[in-house]
Amino acid sequence: MSERTELLPGSFCWPELATPDMASAKRFYAGLFGWEPVDVPSAGGSYTLLQLRGKDVAGLRSLSREERDGGIPAHFLTYVSTASADASAARAQELGGSVLAGPFDVEGIGRMAVLRDPGGVVFALWEARGHIGARLVGEESTLCWTELVTRDPSGAKAFYGGLFGWTWKASEGAPAGYTEISREAQPIGGLLPMEGPEWGDVPPHFMPYFLVADCDAAASRAAGLGGSAVVPPTDIPNVGRFARLRDPAGAAFSVISMAAMAAMAATPAAT
- Average pLDDT value over all residues in the chain: 91
Average pLDDT over residues 8-33: 97
Are both 152 and 257 inside the same structural domain?
yes
In a domain, 227, yes or no: yes
Do 110 and 147 lie in one domain? The reply is no
CATH code of residue 69: 3.10.180.10
Half-sphere CA count of 70, side-chain side, radius 13 A: 7
Domain count of the chain? 2
Residue where a domain terminates, one of 128, 157, 191: 128
Cβ atoms of 150 and 191 closer than 8 Å: yes
pLDDT, average across residues 229-237: 93
Q: Which domain holds residue 100?
A: 12-128
* Residue at 207 is within a domain: yes
Confidence at residue 271, expressed as pLDDT on a 0 to 100 scale: 26
Do both 90 and 152 map to the same domain? no
Determine the pLDDT at residue 5: 82
Residue 93 lies in a domain: yes
Cα gap 210→227, rounded to integer Å = 15
For residue 234, how many other CB atoms are within 10 A of its CB?
11
Comparing 30-34, 93-97, 134-138, 169-173, the range with the smallest average pLDDT is 169-173
Based on the domain organization, do 102 and 154 belong to the same domain? no
